[in-house]
Structures are given as structure tokens and as C-alpha cells.
Chains A and B, each alone.
Chain A
Amino acid sequence: MDGAMTDAVSTETLKRTPLYECHVAAGGKMVPFAGYEMPVQFEGVKQEHLWTRAHAGLFDVSHMGPCFLTLTDTSLEGDEAHAAIAALIEELVPSNIAGLKRCQARLTVLLNEEGGILDDLIITRPEPDELQGTLYIVVNGAVKHQDWALFEETFAGRATLTRADDRCLLALQGPEAVDVLKEYFPGCEDLRFMQSKRMYWNDVRCGVARLGYTGEDGYEILIFAEPANALADQLLADPRVKPIGLGARDSLRLEAGLCLYGQDLDPTRDPVEADLAWVIQKVRREKADFRGAARITRALAEGSAEKRVGIRPLERAPAREGTEIHVDGAKVGVITSGGFGPTVDAPVAMGYVHADLAEPGTAVDLMVRGKPRRGEICALPFTPANYKR
């Protein structure tokens, strides 16, 4: 038997997050991921997945790329400062960042000159007056160095990048996350989905945001490395909270219909075919002033050749990344993420198909190990989102 057993990859060059010892003590099985040694599972992917949907799961996502982008021109204040820093980042992303209210976070995509997706990221306008010339940005771990190089090159002399990936980024996700976390951060229960606020825990300054990557209600907390272990230990001592590894993180986000950069999104895909056109707000569509505007505007008007869809394998065999999608013996698409969804208790997948086959209910064949298996195009997500809007 192969796979999943032992990993021959050298761990010498891998980094560790501030919570490494905490994961090992909790029984985490550590694997290389995005340049870090990360826990892939604790008690088991399925149990961790189901626990998160029912209670609260604690994830270490410190491998990701939290950072701050700050205007070099310190003469501006308030809305003027925000408008100036937003105008800079809007050179690289097609979302309306200028229109963000204080505390508001927004998902967007980093585009190349052709309109292809270099990363998906969340941009937040901070609340404090002194941070109106700053944006809090979280990019993906696997591409953070190239994203940051692009920021520094594009904004040279105009804005300063401050990396925050020496800190700890924790996610507490699940329906009981709010009741757990309000004991540590009173007032966090008043945040709405995609809102973020500076809060203090034992005089430690933290960023607390109500969002996540599971489809559940929950929070992400940016905290300095040194106090992070104490916070994680206390959260894990709560009987409603269990540690969750990367395995369940992947099955949770797939059921929730959320993209994994590098699989479901890559530089050849534009936001329209990725079914992320909603990240481009009206004001930006009208101006069409973003990178790749020619391709994206055309796709918005005429539709794209391919479209990202949900796919349900109708037999028991999971159809994983790379599985070809066929109709009448001809290739019509490919699965970009696929596996087993513990909550739906069936295989689930997403991928790209020709746009005229993207209608839910369309019958397709999934070529699993050379054999056609019955599948069906379906709407995303597979499990209803439980966001606190």
C-alpha cells in the first residue's frame, strides 16, 4: 500500500509555526505543507470535520501570509488616507476597496496583466484612526513570497509592506465558536460576517475577524507568537473545542464550495470562469480600470468558455484532483478538488466544465482510474453556509 503512510520529503528546511509544540502535544501528525511542518490530522479527518460542523474547531493557519500595507505619505488622515491606500491596492485587485467601511473585510483576487488569478486574498480596512492609511491583508501561504514581492515592486516609494507571518493566525470555526470566544474577547459576538476589530486579551493586542474557510460561523485571530500558545492552550481546554488538522480543513472548505489556490484557481483562470465575478463590484465594472480588464469585461458580457461548478460523483468512488470529466466519451472538463464530504456522507468535488454543460443536473462521466463513473453537475456549496450576516 502506498501514499499517506510515510513522507520521504526532508523536513530540514521546513519552518515551524509558534504552535508546533502545541500540535505535537495534542497528537498532531505533522506533514510538510506550504513550507511549514503542519498537523494534517489529530484524532482523524472525519471526526475533526464533523466536530467543527457541530461544535468548535481550532486551526493553526499561521503558515498563511498576514501583512499590513501602509501609505508612505503620512500627511493624509481618515477617509483621505483610506482612499489613497485603497487606490494603490486597486491597481492589483478588481474589488471595490475604496468603498470598504471601517472594520469591513472583503474577499478579492490578485490579478496578472492578463486577468489571470495570482492569488485569492482578504483585505480589511482597520478601525483605528491611526490605521486609516493601512490595509490588513491575508494572502495564501503557498504564494505569499511572490505576492509580497509584487506588492513591494508595484508600490515602491508609495506604500510599505509589513509582514506579520512571524505572528500566529488562529481560526476558531463552528457554531459554538462565538460562545467560546466571547469569554476571551467580549464584544466579538457583535461582529457580523466579514467584520474585523482590534481587541485585547490580557492586554495583548489582537486582530479578531468574523470569517473563515469552513462555511461555518467563526473567527480568525491574529496574535503575537509569544502569547499565542497560552491562548491556544486555554481554548483547547474548553470541552467545546478540539484541534483540527489540514485534512479536515480541506474537506470542510470543499463542502463549503470554497476555492483552494493552486488547485481551483491559478494564473490561467480569470474571476469570471472561476465563478468569482461577484468579487468585482459594480463601481469597478463600470470603470473597468483593473488588470486584465479587456478579458474580464468581455467574459462578464459574453460569458466565459468554461465555468467552475460543483460535481457530485453518484457512485461511491471519490473523484479527486485531476480526474477528467467526459460527456459522450469526449473530455469536457477536469476536477480541481475532490474527495469525500463527511457531512454530506458522500463524495464531493469541484472543477471546470464547458460553460454550456455548467447547468446543475447535467450528467457527466468522471474518469476515475480510467473507468467512467457517473456524476452530476450541482450547485455549490454542498452544505449550507452558516455565516452570521
Chain B
Amino acid sequence: MTVKYTEDHEWISVDGDVGTVGITKYAAEQLGDVVFVETPEGGSAFKKGDDMAVVESVKAASDVYAPVSGEVTEGNAVLAETPERVNEDPEGAGWFCKIKLSDAGELDGLMDAAAYKSFCEGL
């Protein structure tokens, strides 16, 4: 299992050719209390960098971008009723969707955990 991170604070955990996508603990803390999440439906296709989901705090709505290209196999239905999962467990139960990668090579352009940690420290 490989976990990679984007500069826009998404994470993707890849198992075979399917990746689970969410927002990082850093992002969840910056957002504050999440009150609504709109996850993509199964079957929708995205290119790396496309808007794929929306997360809303009391303050504002933020787009979540596809960390890689591919087709969504499943959105996290739990978040519709319990968006607070994103704050409680952003890099676990608060995942947004699963995506079938169309180009695994795109992962090479993302950061590993150590690189992401130092990226956040520089913000």
C-alpha cells in the first residue's frame, strides 16, 4: 500500500489499481468543523486536477481536486449524514472516494509522507 500526497492537501492510498482519496489531517484542521461533503458518484471520470468533491466548513466551501486521473468506483456514503467523520478521522474513516487509476505513473509526481510533512512545515 502506497500513500501519496498533493500540494492541495489531498491524500491517496493505493492498493493495486484502486486508490482511496481524502483530505489530509492538516487540511481538516485548517478547515475546522466540516458541515457538508459532496462526494463523486461511482462511474464518474476525472482527470488529475479536476474538481472532484466539495467540502464545506461553517466558514466556506472548498473544492477537492482529483490527485490522479481515473474512474470513481465508490463515494463514501457515510459522509452525507456524518460529515464530521472528516474531522474525526480524515486519513481513515473520513475518506471521500475510491478511484480506479487510469495512469499509475501519475503517482510519481506526488509527495510521499516525509515530503508532505516538510511541505506543510514550510506553509
- Where the two chains meet, the residues of A that have a C-beta atom closer than 8 Å to any C-beta of B are 1-6, 40-41, 44-46, 49, 247-248, 251, 316-318, 320, 339-340, 342, 347, 369
Contact = CB atoms under 8 A, between A and B. Distances in A.
B36 interface: yes
Given A1-B23, A2-B8, A45-B33, A318 B64 contact: no
Given A1-B27, A6-B123, A340 B62 contact: no
B1 interface: no
B35 A318 contact: yes
B123 to A, nearest CB: 6
Given A45-B32, A247-B59, A339-B59, A1 B80 contact: no
A340 B10 contact: no
Contacts of A44: 32-33
B72 interface: no
A47 to B, nearest CB: 8
A5 B56 contact: no
Contact of B56 (A41, A46, A251, A340): A340
Looking at chain A's contact residues, the main secondary structure is loop
A347 to B, nearest CB: 8
Given A5-B30, A316-B80, A318-B35, A40 B59 contact: yes
Given A46-B33, A318-B56, 12 more contacts: A5-B9, A5-B62, A40-B59, A41-B59, A251-B58, A316-B80, A316-B81, A316-B83, A317-B38, A320-B60, A339-B59, A340-B56
A324 to B, nearest CB: 15
29 contacts: A1-B9, A1-B10, A1-B27, A1-B55, A1-B63, A1-B65, A2-B62, A3-B61, A4-B31, A5-B30, A5-B62, A6-B123, A41-B32, A45-B58, A45-B59, A46-B58, A247-B58, A316-B81, A316-B83, A317-B36, A317-B56, A318-B35, A318-B36, A318-B56, A318-B61, A339-B58, A340-B35, A340-B57, A369-B54
A235 B45 CA distance: 54
A39 to B, nearest CB: 13
Contacts of B35: 316, 318, 340, 347
Interface of B: 8-10, 23, 27, 30-33, 35-36, 38, 54-65, 80-81, 83, 123
Contacts of B33: 44-46, 342
A317 B38 CA distance: 8
Nearest to A339: B58
Given A318-B35, A318-B36, A1 B64 contact: yes
Nearest to B60: A4
Contacts of A339: 58-59
Which 9 A-B pairs have CB atoms at the shortest separation, nearest pair first?
A: A3-B62, A46-B33, A45-B58, A340-B35, A340-B58, A44-B32, A1-B9, A247-B59, A4-B60
A369 B58 contact: no
A247 B30 CA distance: 13
Nearest to A248: B58
B36 A2 contact: no
Q: Which of B23, B35, B60 has the most CB of A within 10 A?
A: B35
